[in-house]
A and B are shown apart, each in its own frame.
Chain A
Amino acid sequence: MSAMIEIKNVTKEFKVLNRREGLKGSLKDLFSRNYKIVRAVDQISMTVEQGEIVGYLGPNGAGKSTTIKMMTGVLEPTSGEILVGGNVPYRDRTKNAQEIGVVFGQRTQLWWALPLIESFKILKDIYRISDADYDEMLKLYQSLVDIEPLLHKPVRQMSLGQRTLSDILAAFLHNPKIVFLDEPTIGLDVSMKAKIRTLIHALNEKKHTTVILTTHDMGDVDALCRRIVIIDKGKMLYDNDVEHLKRFFGSYRTLKLRIAGDLSERAEAVAKLLPECTVSADDEWISVLVDEEKCKVMHVLTQLQQSFRIRDMQLEEISTEDVIKKIYEEGVK
């Protein structure tokens, strides 16, 4: 295994105009410009091995797109080093472009008016794909998805799902070492999402392509990524496998209860009884967040049964989404 992406202490700063409020402020802005430096990406380091699928997560505006743009060579880092497949992306932009594939969510990179197969043929020329490789790739595509109905349809007439699928196929066509997928499943229905996940998974497996995936959809992460990297406000919060993350927070479980009587009143009573747990209530359930390292769920349940008449209960494991939400909110200690 060899490192496909190496990022060392990368920082990207933007100069942004400090806008003043109101018409008067705008007038002032015209004459004296007051800039501030915004650090979109702050001292990020990571190494990605060949064949990995890395989930790159973070809330909106966290710096995900900026990092991707630096790795694809569109932006130059302010400081730090980036190597993608052995190239410095910004300096060897064309060379780097030959070895990566990029899909940017809802922006298709295909020729709008052309049927997919014609786009493929032009890409074949642009990336100088040999006839043998091209045919092999098409055969692989045919074995993975029902590509026939797409091939002769102009991109403009495709549904969003078909277009995303086509864009992904186009990004993998020249068998790049690394593919960047920026929110590939955004706005798609459940079955299309599943189709796209299966496709990405299969291509990664067959071609050992390294995939960097940014997404807000935990389904994508659970289906595809073994490792995730979380950033927020430009800083790296977490870089490890998904299991580790779950174990890290996995001692938390949520016990949901239905108790006879007024729920909010009961919730207060429950909270008094269980000072070590967090208790909240909505219209239907009283939720008790239990930290299993402090007390066992079974113990809590017995305790509650002695004081209340429990009509119904549910036990929920904490989901990856909750974990990440928790990290966004509190950070990893």
Chain B
Amino acid sequence: MKHNSLRFYLRIYRKILAQDLKSKMSYRADFIISTIGMICTNIAGFVGFWILFRNFPSISGWNYYQMLFLYGFSLISLTPVQCLFDNNWSLRMNVYSGDFIKYCFRPINLFFYYQSEVFDVKGLGQLAFGIGTLVYAWVHLGIAVTPLVILKTVIFLMTASLIMIALQNAAAATCFWIQNSFYVMDLVFKFKSYANYPITIFGRFFRFLFTFVMPIAFIAYYPSLVILQPDNVPVLTWISPLVGCLFFWLSYKYWMYGAMKYSGTGS
């Protein structure tokens, strides 16, 4: 098996993942409590949503089911970043304490090795909620199910995930340069919640910001347009899968650049 082949990495990831899940499930109380917590968080999200629509029949021309579609879409597209890249949140602590150096001695890709260490199970619940919401909205909106629509949905879900992952990688990697990168991570995390709304509710400045600078509009809004209002899609949306890949690649390079520059605290 070649050392840098995809199969090699998948095999290692599968092993680490299986072990990680096994050890997590051995803490029953922890597992149950965090599952309950996850369900509550999602229900709270829904309740907020529901109250909003009891008072306003539509938001910027979007009705209840269309908004639910958007919401479900963003829940699903945020799952990979939650499940697979959660260790980014600890990067800051690892770098600060000097523990990050321990990741530098393995003959495999540093970025992969670091991210593989943590798999966040909570994300799977989010995925289930997201799929449920999306299907529910889909049925009520009466969108035809054709192979093409499914393909579009999958491609744009992946695009959205890549963009979110890229944003988080970039935010996390700031810790290689600045001490308190938590605020950067937190900022990105908070902005992400704006992804649940149609971008047209924002002013011109934020529309520009969310499209070009911090492209969270690509997490749910533009991709949803592709399914919901296919005649009304900006050209930019069609190239967004490429942009997603590019963003991910850039964030990866930036992360690795930071990691290589890092020299560890003396010991």
Contacts and interface: CB of A to CB of B under 8 A. Distances in A.
Interface of A: 14, 61, 65-66, 69, 72-75, 93-95, 97-98, 100, 102, 104-105, 107-109, 111, 113-114, 118, 121-122, 125-128, 154, 182
B104 interface: yes
Contacts of B107: 94-95, 97-98, 126-127
A65 B265 CA distance: 10
Contacts of B101: 69, 74, 104, 107
Contacts of B266: 61, 65-66
Given A95-B107, A126-B108, 9 more contacts: A69-B101, A72-B104, A74-B101, A97-B106, A104-B101, A108-B102, A111-B19, A118-B19, A122-B15
Contacts of B19: 111, 113-114, 118, 122
A74 B267 CA distance: 14
Interface in B1-23: 1, 3, 11-12, 15-16, 19-20, 23
Contacts of B186: none
Contacts of A69: 101, 263-264
A74 B264 contact: yes
Interface in B22-37: 23-24
Contacts of B12: 122, 125-126
Contacts of A74: 101, 104-105, 263-264
Nearest to B11: A125
A99 to B, nearest CB: 8
Contacts of A100: 105
Contacts of A72: 104-105
19 contacts: A65-B266, A66-B266, A69-B264, A72-B105, A73-B104, A94-B3, A94-B108, A97-B107, A98-B107, A105-B267, A107-B98, A108-B102, A109-B105, A111-B117, A113-B20, A122-B12, A122-B19, A125-B15, A126-B106
Contacts of A95: 107
A102 B105 contact: yes
A121 B18 CA distance: 12
B243 to A, nearest CB: 30
Nearest to A123: B106
Contacts of A113: 19-20, 23-24
Nearest to B4: A94
Contacts of A111: 16, 19-20, 117
Contacts of B98: 107
Nearest to B97: A107
Contacts of A105: 267
Contacts of B108: 94, 126
A73 B110 CA distance: 13
Contact of A154 (B3, B15, B23): B23
Contacts of A94: 3, 107-108
What 7 pairs across the A-B complex have the smallest Cβ distances? A97-B107, A98-B107, A113-B23, A109-B102, A102-B105, A94-B107, A118-B19
A288 B3 CA distance: 64
A227 to B, nearest CB: 23
Contacts of A65: 264, 266-267
A64 to B, nearest CB: 9
Contacts of B23: 113-114, 154
A138 B101 CA distance: 27
A93 B19 CA distance: 28
A75 B105 contact: no
Contacts of B11: 125
A95 to B, nearest CB: 7
Given A97-B107, A122-B12, A182-B267, A107 B117 contact: no
Nearest to A106: B267
Contacts of A75: 263
Interface string B87-130: 00000000000110110111110000000010000000000000
Contact of B3 (A108, A114, A128): A128
B4 to A, nearest CB: 9
A145 B24 CA distance: 29
Contacts of A66: 266
A74 B261 CA distance: 9
A127 B102 CA distance: 16
A94 B109 CA distance: 8
A52 B20 CA distance: 38
Given A97-B107, A98-B107, A104 B20 contact: no
B102 A128 contact: no
A182 B107 CA distance: 20
A104 B97 CA distance: 14
A104 B263 CA distance: 14
Nearest to B113: A126
Nearest to A66: B266
A18 to B, nearest CB: 18
A73 B101 CA distance: 11
